[in-house]
Amino acid sequence: MCALLLVLCLCFSSIEGQKLELRKSEAEVNEFEPLTLMCDTDFSFFNEIDWIRNNKSELYTHYWCKQKIESVHYNISCLPHQQYDMTINNVTRFNHGDRWHCRGDNHFQSNDVQVLVKVPITSVELTQPLSKFVTVSEEDKVYFECVTSPGYPASVITWCKVTNGSEVIISADGSSIGELNDKTIVTTSWLALNFRISDDWTFVYCTANNSARILTSRNRAAVHVHKHNKETDNVKMDNSRDDPTLAKAAITLSTITGTTLVFLIVGYFVIKKLRSSKANQRENVHTSESVTQANGPAQKNSSYTTSQVYENTTQSEPCEDNNMAEES
């Protein structure tokens, strides 16, 4: 009787001692690299070890690893009665977040482990400004923007400015992330910088790090800084320093005034030409009438004078003339 009780106690204690513990070879794995899951047991014998992914049986290890499972996705190995290994040969971004556990003889279940996949970024580009060479006036602002390729986790973007061989790290003004359907993330960062004459030929670029890979933008923006034209800029500064709206109004007004002045000048010359044409026509008509009127009276007067002279002229005797002369 005592012997039977002892056997029963040993059996219960052995059943209670059957535990499975699952662990993974790496906390995080880069995409397209292998990941091994290890199911440890303190029990001397299991007929079958099942591998469960997201609560569905994916594959199993049978009869102390004597049965090989042929699969391009997984590889099975084990140390009999101690450790059962399952390797995912090619982890992809679609495996990110998968939950696995191992189960022995459909009764004993291990803890869960989660697959964490890092997707390295493949590029980081300076998208603003569009040109590699930028020319600005002193104290003008230049907008810069940097965008990464899809990756996981999200990238941290750092900005660098190089002036006269001295490099300075600059904090971004802001950043945003966008998640795609394949669980990867695109990161965007931006900032605006003022430049002085001493910053002439400054180079600006960005660096991205998503823990899977660190990359630097291939293109860099070269900024050339020149001084303002004082004669023209003083007026603009005086008008726009207190109220930028006033400067905009002045520009608009000058544009409208210039356009109106052009129309006035063109209109003036058109009206002048029309008046000149009409004046020429009137002068031609007046001249022809004057010539006609002048010719008429002249002919009458000439005939009248000739006849009148002819009528009043008589032949006198020389003596009579002498007598009249003497009398007078």
- What is the full per-residue pLDDT of the chain (328 aa) written as tens digits? 444 444 344 444 444 456 889 999 999 999 999 999 999 987 657 788 899 999 998 888 776 676 556 678 898 888 766 788 999 999 999 999 999 999 988 888 999 999 999 999 999 999 999 999 999 999 899 999 999 999 999 999 999 999 999 999 999 999 999 999 988 999 999 999 999 999 999 999 999 999 999 999 999 999 999 987 665 455 444 544 444 554 455 445 445 555 566 567 757 766 777 777 665 565 554 544 443 444 444 444 433 333 333 333 333 343 344 333 333 3
Every domain of the chain with CATH number 2.60.40.10 lies at: 18-117, 124-228
What is 121-167 written as a DSSP string? ---EEEEESSSSEEEEETT-EEEEEEEEPSBBS--EEEEEEEETTEE
Place of tokens 């029990």: 43
Q: Cα angle at 23 between 41 and 94, to 5 degrees? A: 135
Domain 18-117: give its CATH architecture: Sandwich (2.60)
Q: With contact defined as beta carbons under 8 Å apart, do 100 and 29 qualify?
A: no
- pTM beyond 0.75: the answer is no
Task: Determine the topology of domain 124-228 in CATH.
Answer: Immunoglobulin-like (2.60.40)
